[in-house]
Amino acid sequence: MTALVTLVVIALFSLLAVRVATTALTMTGLSYDTASFQSYSTFFGVGFTTKEAELVVNHPVRRRIIRDLILVGNIGLTGALATTVASMMQSNNVLHPIVLLSTVVFVVLLITYIGR
């Protein structure tokens, strides 16, 4: 149960980090859609070479926001993966990891779509 709570907390803080970065990028002049897309792609480490990405990289404040989000994303995803693997190793029940992952995915999707 502790692993589930830890994983949910990591997921919530990850979503919070993306939201904060989206707001910060919006405050530098990017549209909400562009800022949100760039925040999510940065957090998850998937780069897209677009004109929008060039707008982010060519601005010093935006570049600093993106740099910090890359760091937070790597720490958050690594922590979530480590928590999941640790809980799977300790579980004798086969359904426990499936329920754990399903619950976390559901909560993350719920929080992501409620905020829109």
* pTM (predicted TM-score): 0.66
Distance CA 56, CA 112 (A): 23
107 closest CA partner among 1, 15, 3: 15
CB count in 10 Å sphere of residue 33: 11
- Can you tell me the distance from the alpha carbon of 95 to that of 46, in angstroms, rounded to the nearest whole number? 31
The string of pLDDT tens digits covering residues 57-67 is: 888 898 889 88
Q: Which residue in this structure is represented by tokens 């990891």?
A: 97
Residue pLDDT, tens place only, 12-50 = 888 888 899 999 999 999 999 889 888 888 888 887 767
pLDDT digits (tens, 9 = 90+) for 1-13: 666 677 777 778 8
83-97 pLDDT per residue, tens = 767 766 676 665 666
Q: Give CA–CA dist 50/54, Å, rounded.
A: 6
